[in-house]
Amino acid sequence: MKFKIIISVFTMLFTLNSAIADQGDSNVSFYAGTFDVIDKEGDDQTSLFGIEHKNPNLFRDTFLGKFKPISGAFMTGNSSIYLYTGVEGQYGIGPLKILPSFSPGYYEKGDGKDLGGVLEFKSEIKVGFDIFENSKLSYSYSHISNNDWGETNPGTDNQQITFSKNF
């Protein structure tokens, strides 16, 4: 029951993020990488595959930089899932983009690593290059933990390669 409620909330946030656009523009990213890249024992390290949505029409230019909402999900090779929604900043030098983000989300361990709770926080730094018009290739490094709000807080560090396309 709890999982269905979380999925419903995530779906509503994802749909709202998509529906607010004036002209229907959106940015979809697909990524693949390694979950728990610094695992010392090696038993929790596995692959991860994900999708992320951003709405370019929701950029807000502030004195701290450009920001936009993001929503996404990934699944690991051990059937763990993470559903998230948050905010991403954008700083650029020509074709190089630096994209820090913060996203709270729902984590289900499946057969994978127990992160100590279902509420987890993802901090990420992404470095991307514009490779074609409306397309970007990026490398990112993220940390997910529960800020010591769970029973335990082992955290996980992840890395991935991302392909993004504006539609």
Average per-residue pLDDT for the chain: 85
pTM across the whole model: 0.82
Q: What is the pLDDT of residues 31-50, one digit of tens each?
A: 999 999 997 776 889 999 99
Can you give the residue range of the structural domain that contains 53?
2-166
pLDDT of residue 13: 52
Domain total of the chain? 1
CATH of the domain at 31: 2.40.160.20
Exposure letters 100-113 (e unless 16+ CB within 10 A, then b): bbebebbbbbeebb
